[in-house]
Structure 1
């Protein structure tokens, strides 16, 4: 028996409409429903979180496709963490009737979640005029192999602002994930075969991964297919993650408050995007973050890589436990 009903909607945002998937619990009690907003990675889409849904019975899950990706691929820039955070906030305002919403972000989605959690500070740093009271609305965020500053491979763990240009950053951190965006595929099956041969999916593609990858494809005029993520979006977002001012300001606002820091969960995979050790967050860097933010809940999800932390039983269970522990109290009145 299904735990949720799923539908997809469009929400008006700057420049057009954002596509948002919503899983409504079938067994919800009368009144406001506990709500989680899941935010995907830089070349992904909301369906990559589908495996988490059955482990959250009675909870509404809101999953936007970030602008420049999947069914939101036609939304134009500007991109960057503030633009995505404001889009996500609009989706939450539209679909949540809960007074408190728990945020969960995978990979770049963790950076968006952190920016949203500290949005007034982020907006101030970005010099954008807004009177949002976003910080009082959110629990978490739950950061899933993302959301804390990344070290560039080949540099010291503590060198978080290595002087690389955007192309170098993309090549160093995303590697084949970025190269894939320029590729064309004759059929859907050819695209799935590409992932089946990927080292991160050596154990095969499950239903969640398969449906997310199929959903990701965009048809071209010559009847071939290409990944939906805009190269411009990837480039602008990558640069903003490393060199922008909004995310660091939001990070400081959230992690500089002991109570809010204690509500943050950081789950990190043992292996990276190519299933190699160490992961995106090497042991030395994680140790530094534990020292810097001792109130944060830090969990190594053994046996997982950057992708299957949201696909394997061990990974999805760890994510569900972190989210469940941070479900906010349900209050009367929707987010307006």
Structure 2
């Protein structure tokens, strides 16, 4: 028996409607049902979290498809972390207006989650209220903290976001690599697309049901009856640059990490290997050590044996992610039960 009932909805946002998947728990304990919002990566969609959802019985999970991707692919720009954070806010206004909501982001979704958390914290500060602490976390899964640029790290990782000489094409090539190349490819059938991933070094152990369903959902049909990945190149380029140079994310990071209380809410999980299952991962050990020194209140989890993708697919990865999410839900649930 499934632990959740799943349905898909649409929410009004600037420029159109955002597609949202909602997993409602089949069974839950007394009091308010804890709610989690999962935010996917730059070329992904909400179904990539289905394995994590199964590890969170009794928890309501809300997962939007970010604009320019999957079932939200026809939504136009502007893109960027602030735009996505505003879209997610509209989703949560519709499905969880009272909160509290634990924010969970994978890859770029971590940057969106951090931006949303920082925007909310800044608003609370300006109004002099805690707004019932609407958001908890965020839980960052191999994303959401400054990425290395291939040059020596400064004493402050945030400084790397201020390099005016950064080139967007170089950023995409350095960080996303084959993931970016895939967006320009066409596939004759769904099976051909799945074969592409089956040969991908990050999926050498095969595609499980979650990965398969997420990849199939990702495909968009073209007029010539072929298929292409749904993420728009424009969205990927704009979001890639904004992760490094966007002011909204940088300000949010400084807001959250500048307070011991909000910093202690953050959990950062990082994979041992990167997008092509090579070592080191997106976040090399020396960089995560810098994070630990600079932000000592933040929880850091080294998820050994995983890569950037299967941290949300393998038992080891899902267990670690579920434990991190549950650690944030725990405080939330304790306060919700009368």
TM-score by length of 1: 0.93
1:157 maps to 2:159: no
Q: What's the counterpart of residue 144 of structure 2?
A: 147
What is aligned with 1:3?
Answer: 3
Structure number with the higher helix fraction is 2
Is 1:196 equivalent to 2:192 in the alignment?
Answer: no
Residue in structure 1 matched with residue 294 of structure 2 by the alignment: 292
State whether structure 2 residue 275 is matched by structure 1 residue 273.
yes
Partner of 1:226: 228
RMSD between superposed Cα atoms in Å: 2.2
Q: Which has the higher contact order (CA 8 A, sep 6+)?
A: 1
Sort the Cα spacing of 1:54 and 1:233 in 2 relative to 1 into closer, same or farther, 3 A: same
2:123 paired with 1:116: no
Unpaired segments ≥5 residues, structure 1: 124-129
1:28 CA displacement? 2.5
Aligned to 2:307: 305
Aligned-partner Cα distance in 2 for 1:325–1:283: 24
Supply the distance in 2 between the matched residues of 1:120 and 1:262 (Cα, whole angstroms). Answer: 16
Segments of 5+ residues of structure 2 without an aligned counterpart are none
Helix, strand or coil for the counterpart of 2:215? Answer: helix
- How many angstroms apart in 2 are the aligned matches of 1:277 and 1:141? 26
| Aligned residues of 2:101 and 2:135 also touching (Cα < 8 A) | yes
Contact 2:121/2:256 (8 A) holds in 1 = no
Map 1:1-336 → 2, pairs under 5 A: 1-29=1-29, 32-96=32-96, 99-120=99-120, 136-152=133-149, 154-158=150-154, 160-161=160-161, 162=163, 163-327=165-329, 328-329=332-333, 331=336
For 2:129 and 2:83, how far apart are their aligned partners in 1?
A: 14
Tell me which moved more, 89-98 or 204-213. Answer: 89-98
Cα gap change, 1:142 to 1:9, in 2 (>3 Å): same
- Please say if residues 114 and 138 of structure 2, whose CA atoms lie closer than 8 Å, have aligned partners that are also in contact: yes
Contact 1:40 1:65 in 2 (8 A): yes
Contact 2:85 2:115 in 1 (8 A): yes
How many Å apart are 1:37 and its aligned residue?
0.2
User: Structure 1 stretches (4+) deviating beyond 6 angstroms?
Assistant: 130-135
Residues 287 and 30 (structure 1 numbering): CA distance in 2 closer, same or farther, change over 3 Å?
closer
Distance 1:156 1:175 in 2: 21
CA–CA distance in 1 between the matches of 2:169 and 2:75? 23
How far residue 119 of structure 1 moved from its aligned partner, in angstroms, is: 1.0
Matched pairs, number: 327
1:127 equivalent in structure 2: none
Matches of 2:222 and 2:128 in 1, distance apart? 41
Normalising to structure 2: TM-score of the pair?
A: 0.92
Cα deviation digits, residues 99-128 of structure 1 (max 9, x gap): 3110000000000000000115779xxxxx
2: CA distance, partners of 1:69 / 1:52: 20
